[in-house]
Structure 1
């Protein structure tokens, strides 16, 4: 398989590699001074090569899993076959499995577009901007199919995880899951998953969607001397994925819980007619912070 075309964005603090042809994904984002990764470095040697091995990828036109082989649409049942060999469910939409077109590329900004017919007709657009250590991802999807259908969106970034990694993010509730990681019951956040004050990530596996999020998140990497101040717009859920024993975790800003197409009221999904759009933004701001300042800031609330 040929290596994908890579684009570069660079500012005075950080350097970003993108692979538009690989699902519109980010491959590598790191600090320039010492090459410290700010996202988990992607793997371009993986076979099969997909966006899921990279640093981050867009979630369109839904996030995570949809059960039942499809969902009920206003004009009847819409069938969704599995789209990966390792799951019987349709996973993460379809934008991550298709090449995106480069509309514009400058020193600090890339504009990408995807005209998709799978699993239905839509247009997705990404604006990726890098300035002063702040990486901003803007995502917009426009429904093009004549049938009205439900849409959701998000981003799937992977972050480095060490013994010193801490995360700070508020949530009002969490969806518990079954054996297929499908949402089953909404509960208050248990203490072991409470990240309102900066805390180490849970030791056990977590793969759950948290609700009532205010859009702010701080990812603290004390041993590397930095944190990321993150802010989401258009997303009031986040999915936290912590696989035990792995040097990474995922903090995913998303518009809806897992399997929302089958939950009462379809929380977070938007029914779009042809020509209608929905959008969201995710901002990750790198901050170099001395260890003594990090320790004091663990007790503060998130702010961007």
Structure 2
């Protein structure tokens, strides 16, 4: 499967047409910002640096959902015997439709279970930022609920810290599904101030402000994650994994089974939804969560221009 190596004076990335995955993102000194995947060796999208989640993110209880008193079963997944895990987009071959030295646009048409859609993903390097956009168009005759997200694996070491604001959290319960909502954050789940993620974490935050920061003290370097999404999944199998995942997604985990389907979009034939994410490299003394008006305006312009949000 074709791998595209793209770069500018600040960043370098590798994008695979298989799963529309990133296989690496590095700074101008060759240091990884996401975990690295060697395309010369056998690899799976789940071992990549970043993959898209669509036409849903995470899992749905019972692997089915109800809409207008109709029951819809979700397809089986090669990655999980019980769930349509993260949808099917990350497991499919995509086709390139545009390519430059610093950007690539890939496209996928899929028909799986109740979902029949055209997807487009665009990755582009703009200065010290990676700007990513997902667009989904429903092709089916019957309306369907859609969601999407990004699943990046951020490089981390023991000293790495993160921070972000959210109004509450659904903690993980049995079968990796969320439990009840809580606006009280236990100390190990509270990242309003700088903290090191510890142990197993797999929780969905709601009311997310749309920004998160990752701090690498030894490098004097910070990475700002920006998105119009209101939900953020935090995943880390353990502190020695070498990565932590901060996953902007359009809907809550298991939203198909929640009242009001929080964050999901009901699309009729021809309707389109889109979402974006920007990863921006900053010097450590810059505060991504307290950007100046100029910086905030530039970020909003980028999201509006390239991400459709």
TM-score by length of 1: 0.90
Query: Mapping of 1:170-189 within 5 angstroms?
Result: 170-188=165-183, 189=185
DSSP-derived class of the 1:96 partner: helix
Distance in 1 between residues matched to 2:150 and 2:179, nearest whole Å? 23
Matches within 5 A, 1:63-102: 63-74=57-68, 76-102=70-96
What is the CA distance between 1:43 and its match in structure 2?
4.3
* Corresponding residue SS for 2:36: coil
1:27 aligned to 19, 23, 48, which one? 23
Partners of 1:166 and 1:85 in 2: how far apart?
Answer: 30
1:204 deviation in Å? Answer: 2.2
Partner of 2:302 in structure 1? none
Q: Could you tell me how far apart the structure 1 residues matched to 2:271 and 2:186 are? A: 38
Q: Could you say which residue in structure 1 is the equivalent of 2:8?
A: 11
Pairs aligned (count)? 289
Q: Which runs of 5+ in 1 are unaligned?
A: none
Give deviations 1:246-296, integer Å, cap 9, x for gaps: 11110000111211111122111111111001111100011244xxx37xx
Superposed CA offset, 1:110-148 (max 9, x none): 111111112321011111110212100011101111111
My pick for the range that moved more, 65-74 or 135-144, is: 65-74
Residue in structure 1 matched with residue 112 of structure 2 by the alignment:
118
Question: Any conservation in 2 of the 1:71–1:262 contact (CA below 8 Å)?
Answer: yes
- 1:210 equivalent to 2:217? Answer no
The CA distance in 1 between the partners of 2:267 and 2:289, in whole Å, is 36
CA contact (8 A) 2:211 2:289 kept: no
TM-score, normalised to structure 2's length? 0.89
Q: Secondary structure of 1:200's match?
A: coil
Contact 1:139 1:281 in 2 (8 A): yes
Alignment gaps of 5+ in structure 2 = 297-309
Structure 1 pair 87–302 and aligned structure 2 pair: CA distance change class (3 A): farther
Please identify which structure carries the higher helix content: 2
Structure 1 stretches of 4+ moved >3 Å: 43-47, 300-304
Distance in 2 separating the partners of 1:10 and 1:85: 32
* 2:166 equivalent to 1:166: no
Q: How far apart are 1:301 and its partner, in Å? A: 3.7
Query: Hey, what does 1:198 align to over in structure 2?
Result: 194
8 Å contact from structure 2 (residues 13, 26) kept in 1: yes
**Root mean square deviation, CA, Å:** 1.7
Q: Could you tell me which residue of structure 2 aligns to residue 40 of structure 1?
A: 35
CA distance in 2, matches of 1:90, 1:158: 20
Matches within 5 A, 1:42-61: 42-44=37-39, 49-61=43-55
